[in-house]
């Protein structure tokens, strides 16, 4: 899930349902939990909840609970007085005070320590916070929006999350769908990011994606969701050498290289590469069967041979020696075949 000037991009019913639920919950002065895998856009939903609420002109304060050590998270949330601990040379207000009159977005909520959870419970229940080193509680008017990729009820069962805190925070739970179940959104998002990257590079127009790239994008499981898709698409566009031709090579793993050593053949990157190659071979097989229908054996075999060469070149990033090795040809044999199909460039 991504935004451009607060615009959400997607058309699948699962995606639109989540956005609609956030829109309906936004005007209510109640806490909301946003649940989803990494890269699904939890922070964007939090921003939507704030902007569509009566607090829209108040502060939206964000804190990543996983980014701070346990020893500092309470001071960050609730503030501290001068001399409260070593290094606290002056008083400092916490994020709750900063968010007074607005929204506090707690990202990675599941990483909070039990001590921080206890203090958070009091802040949510009574609207009061106490700085570390102080005995005087302060009233704050803060709406809590929290996000996590953890299953908090399971954490409660394991004693890692307070059940009473979860009860206070789960007035509404918005679960964001992963990209792999958002039917049609891979194409929509790929076109959006591809077109935007082409404009950034100064291309005269957007040629779109070729058949092989489209197939690879649709078949990928997207463990990193929209954030991963954006990187993959933008990388493919900027690496493409001919802006006049459709982008037709996708590399999902930027660390993948024919010169990378010490990686087991069964690594996730290798499995993805094998899946992509298998998909390409299946498509080439389909192209061959269609070519046979024209009742021209020579034309069909020539077309298939050229398609095999194009795919092998793309997979080897147009390194001809690596391509020759991949096809079990000598370098001279490959050069001769490339020249025959006018692929030498």
pLDDT of residue 3: 45
The gap between the terminal CA atoms of the chain, to the nearest Å, is 39
pLDDT of residue 273: 45
- Please report which helix (H) or strand (E) contains residue 321, including its range: helix 320-326
Sheet holding 103-107, edge to edge: 60-64, 103-107, 143-148, 32-35, 172-175
pLDDT of residue 288: 46
Q: CA 331, CA 325: separation in Å to the nearest integer?
A: 8
For residue 197, give both structure tokens: 């990257």
Q: How confident is the model at residue 10 (pLDDT cuts 50, 70, 90)?
A: very high
Sign of CA dihedral 100, 106, 109, 115: negative
Phi, psi of 135, rounded to the nearest 5 degrees: -110, 5
Beta bridge partners of 145: 32, 105
Task: Report, as an integer, the average pLDDT of 90-108.
Answer: 91
What's the fold here for domain 183-340?
Helicase, Ruva Protein; domain 3 (1.10.8)
Task: Report, as an integer, the average pLDDT of 258-284.
Answer: 49
- pLDDT at 317 exceeding the cut of 80: no
What ranges do the domains of the chain cover?
13-177, 183-340
Q: Which of 107-111, 180-184, 236-240, 331-335 has the lowest mean pLDDT?
A: 331-335
pLDDT of residue 270: 43
Q: How confident is the model at residue 99 (pLDDT cuts 50, 70, 90)?
A: very high
Report the SS3 class of residue 148.
strand
Whole-number mean pLDDT of the chain?
A: 85
Question: 269 near 253, Cβ under 8 Å?
Answer: yes
Q: CA 27, CA 50: separation in Å to the nearest integer?
A: 9
Q: For strand 103-107 and strand 128-129, is the pairing parallel, antiparallel, or unpaired?
A: unpaired
pLDDT of residue 183: 92
Q: How confident is the model at residue 262 (pLDDT cuts 50, 70, 90)?
A: low
Q: How confident is the model at residue 137 (pLDDT cuts 50, 70, 90)?
A: confident
pLDDT of residue 36: 94
pLDDT digits (tens, 9 = 90+) for 143-156: 999 999 999 999 99
| Of 341, 266, 274, 271, the residue nearest 307 (C-alpha) | 341
**More confidently predicted of 254 and 134:** 254
Question: 31 near 146, Cβ under 8 Å?
Answer: yes
pLDDT of residue 7: 62
CATH of domain 13-177: 3.40.50.300
Q: Which pTM was predicted?
A: 0.71
- pLDDT at 56 exceeding the cut of 90: yes
**More confidently predicted of 154 and 330:** 154
**More confidently predicted of 98 and 307:** 98
């Amino acid at each position: 899930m991504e935004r451009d000037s607060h615009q959400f991009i997607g058309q699948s019913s699962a995606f639109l349902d989540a956005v609609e639920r956030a829109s309906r919950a936004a005007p209510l002065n109640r806490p909301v939990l946003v649940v989803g895998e990494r890269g699904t856009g939890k922070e964007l939903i939090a921003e939507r909840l704030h902007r569509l609420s009566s607090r829209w002109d108040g502060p939206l304060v964000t804190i990543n609970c996983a980014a701070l050590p346990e020893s500092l998270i309470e001071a960050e949330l609730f503030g501290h007085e001068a001399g409260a601990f070593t290094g606290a040379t002056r008083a400092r207000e916490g994020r709750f005070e900063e968010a007074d009159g607005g929204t506090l977005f707690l990202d990675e909520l599941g990483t909070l320590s039990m001590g921080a959870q206890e203090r958070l419970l009091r802040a949510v229940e009574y609207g009061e916070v106490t700085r570390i080193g102080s005995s005087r509680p302060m009233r704050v008017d803060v709406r809590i929006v929290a996000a996590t990729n953890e299953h908090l009820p399971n954490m409660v069962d394991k004693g890692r999350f307070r059940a009473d805190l979860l009860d206070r925070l789960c007035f509404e739970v918005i679960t964001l769908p992963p990209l792999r179940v958002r039917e049609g959104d891979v194409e929509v998002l790929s076109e959006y990011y591809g077109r935007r990257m082409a404009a950034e590079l100064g291309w005269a127009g957007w040629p779109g994606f070729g058949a092989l790239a489209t197939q690879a994008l649709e078949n990928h499981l997207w463990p990193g969701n929209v954030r991963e898709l954006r990187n993959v698409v933008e990388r493919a566009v900027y690496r493409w050498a001919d802006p006049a031709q459709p982008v037709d090579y996708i590399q999902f793993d930027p660390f993948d290289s024919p010169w990378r050593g010490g990686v087991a053949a069964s690594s996730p990157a290798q499995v993805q590469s094998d899946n992509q190659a298998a998909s390409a071979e299946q498509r080439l097989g389909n192209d061959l069967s269609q070519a046979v229908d024209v009742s021209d054996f020579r034309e069909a075999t020539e077309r298939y041979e050229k398609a095999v060469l194009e795919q092998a070149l793309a997979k080897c990033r147009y390194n001809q020696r690596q391509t020759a090795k991949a096809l079990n040809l000598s370098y001279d044999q490959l050069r001769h075949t490339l020249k025959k199909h006018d692929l030498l460039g």
